[in-house]
Amino acid sequence: MKILFINSRGHWHNGWLTSPEELQIATDVLRKAGIEVETTEVESVPQLEKVLDEISPDTLLWPNAYYVNAGAGKAVWLNDYIEERQLPFLGSSAKTLRTVLEKDACQAVLRENGLPIPSFKVISRENVSEMAQLLSESDIGFPLVLKPTAESGSVGVAMAKNIPDATAHARQILSDFPLSNVIIEEFLPSDDITCGFLQLGKEVMLLPTTYIVKSAAGKTNILSRNERLRPWDGHDKIMPYVADAAIHDQLRDSMPKIAAALGIRGITRVDGRLDKGGTLRFFDVNGLPALCFPEGLMVKQCFTCFPGYTPMEAFEGLIHTIVCHVLLTYGLEAPEAMHRHNLFTMESNMVVKGEAALAGMPPDYYECK
């Protein structure tokens, strides 16, 4: 069994593993488990096509980027080329990645499937001049949150307390992010709840944590890009476990439905906040959650939810789980080390377990062959 990581020149920053050093740590884990690992970096579509045309039948692809360069400053979706050739790969389809990266499209899918989300409105270059009227006709009050629709990692996120502020932020976002519109959401007065979602066959595991920056308390603030980039210090910026049973119930009900509605394959991380009535409303679904050791958010979640293990043992369990699930779905054999040591075989009373929702997936998708 072989895994080939496909990295894309200029697009490392929003991949699963965002540097060669972080990639090396993950490949070491896979090699230790008995998997042959190769890595490559492509600079263009022709280079990608050459790599894909030479893939051996026993190779699982791990695309480590959303995009590949297409010339003239343009980029196209890497996974489209993998799927066109019907090759086995880790992660979700290009269609799913496009949807979750476009915040308004993602929220529309969740709303259509009856999942709780914040009230939102989309502002474009064509209607930004009518923004005051559009907001007055909506059920979104102040303060409110503005985000570019096609960015990740809290880039460009702002909070506004009145119409002039909101209009200024919207115009700035449209200027700074030419591929985005502006999504305006109601402000939810709680700390961020970020839940990891992992699947192994038909079983689902949730990692319920909060993302807290005490100096930017969630009751009155949002977490901007600045807070996201700050190092974890164990004092001001922390990721504690969510022990609230009512939140667990909401996550247990909603998370598998979110994954099914969007066509998530095996892994995601979903962010939300509680409204004033205690309902958890979801506003961000991550298509390529960072797996960087030891700072990646999902890696931190494993440290929090598996306190009886060393950080590296928890990280190995995470990587083994992700790969083992994909191999099962394709009917490929996983190494014994992955069957023996994954998050589902590790002991913890700080995870939530359940079964996958099947909506939107092929009938045989979860068959363990």
Beta-sheet strands, E only, within the chain: 2-8, 36-42, 59-63, 67-71, 74-77, 120-123, 144-148, 158-160, 182-186, 192-200, 203-213, 237-238, 267-274, 280-286, 352-355
Strands across the sheet containing 59-63: 36-42, 2-8, 59-63
Average pLDDT value for residue range 267-289:
97
What's the whole-number average pLDDT of the chain?
94
Q: HSE of 70 in the Cβ direction (CA atoms, 13 Å)? A: 9
Average pLDDT value for residue range 292-307:
97
pLDDT in tens, 190-220: 999 999 999 999 999 999 999 999 999 999 9
Average pLDDT value for residue range 7-25:
97
Task: Check pLDDT > 90 for residue 362.
Answer: no
The pLDDT assigned to 228 comes to: 87
Measured between alpha carbons, how far is 302 from 30 in angstroms, rounded to an integer?
18
pLDDT in tens, 55-80: 999 999 999 999 999 999 999 999 99
Task: Check pLDDT > 70 for residue 334.
Answer: yes
Confidence label for 151 from pLDDT (cuts 50, 70 and 90): confident
> Percent of the chain beyond pLDDT 90?
91
The pLDDT assigned to 356 comes to: 86
pLDDT in tens, 242-259: 999 999 999 999 999 999
The pLDDT assigned to 358 comes to: 52
Average pLDDT value for residue range 97-126:
97
pLDDT in tens, 318-330: 999 999 999 999 9
Confidence label for 368 from pLDDT (cuts 50, 70 and 90): very low
The pLDDT assigned to 300 comes to: 97
